[in-house]
Amino acid sequence: MEPAIAGVSRWRRNGLSVLRPARAASGGRLRDTERGELERLRREMAEKNKRIRELEMERDVFKRCMALWVK
């Protein structure tokens, strides 16, 4: 048996699902602390995506400048 397959078998034997995340203990509802953390992570991700778009635009401008400068 390959090591990866042995790991999966061990998970299944212990009753853990590899394909599905564990269900929340409160019937699928988030606690206030989890909700706050999720909102914080979403804001952080939005800020990072905005910064990525800005950097991509700057990169494109520099590429165009270099193309004109080389000619």
Structure confidence by residue, pLDDT tens digits, 3-29: 666 666 776 777 765 555 555 556 678
Q: Domain spans of the chain?
A: 29-71
CB contact set of 38 (below 8 Å; sequence gap of 6+): 30
Instruction: For residue 1, give both structure tokens.
Output: 């048996």
Residues 61 and 69: beta-carbon distance below 8 Å: no
User: Cα-flanking dihedrals φ and ψ of residue 18, to 5°?
Assistant: -85, -35
Instruction: For residue 7, give both structure tokens.
Output: 């790991």
Q: Is this model's pTM higher than 0.85 or not?
A: no
